[in-house]
Amino acid sequence: MIKAVLMAGGKGSRIRPLTLSRPKPMIPVANRPMIEYIVDRIKKSGCNDLVVTLSYLKNQIKSLLSEKYPEMNINYSVENSPLGTAGGVKKAAQHIKDTFFVLSGDVLVDVDLNKLLEFHQRKKALATVVLTPVDDPSHFGIAVLDEENQIIKFKEKPAASEVFSKIANTGTYIMEPEILDYIDTADKGEIDFSKDVFPH
């Protein structure tokens, strides 16, 4: 059965003071913590196995998820220091044996996860990245695709002179466990999918 890895360990330092007393995924959107919308989308896809990467103010997220989603099988992977998106997923590797979703706990993306899975399987991909067009790509990772919809170039948060695309990374992925072999965490601190794993 497919699992989902929910990345929820970031400090949200760029949006302080909103995150001084709560982690970024707990920021309310229409009177509900943002993370609830993301877990609801995961549940709607039929996925009941969740791995949550945690760090900053982790107990708030644990309390919410155990209260709101007692029917889900939730495991936690706690980072004592920031590991980055890929590093955090690699640390959770003991829970990952098959194809898995990766979602950011602080980004709301309107995507049908079942259709994403079908696309991923049809393409026989190692990793599938959900992309979207944007007007200002300076706050996102951007990608160039070939005629087969494969990423051939990727750049994280480009300066104005470095912009080569307005197709942005949403932080939503589906991956095969073999992707973990491409993540080298030895003495490297934070390892991100966008900077260290995807093609540049």
Active-site residue set: 157
Give CA–CA dist 179/138, Å, rounded. Answer: 27
Residues forming a β-bridge with 131 = 169
CA distance to 50, 113, 122, 151, 161, per residue, from 140 (Å)? 26, 21, 27, 15, 15
- 143 phi and psi angles, rounded to 5 deg: -135, 155
Per the CB < 8 A criterion, the answer to whether 141 and 155 are in contact is yes
Phi-psi region of 71 (alpha: psi -120 to 50; beta: other; left: phi over 0): alpha
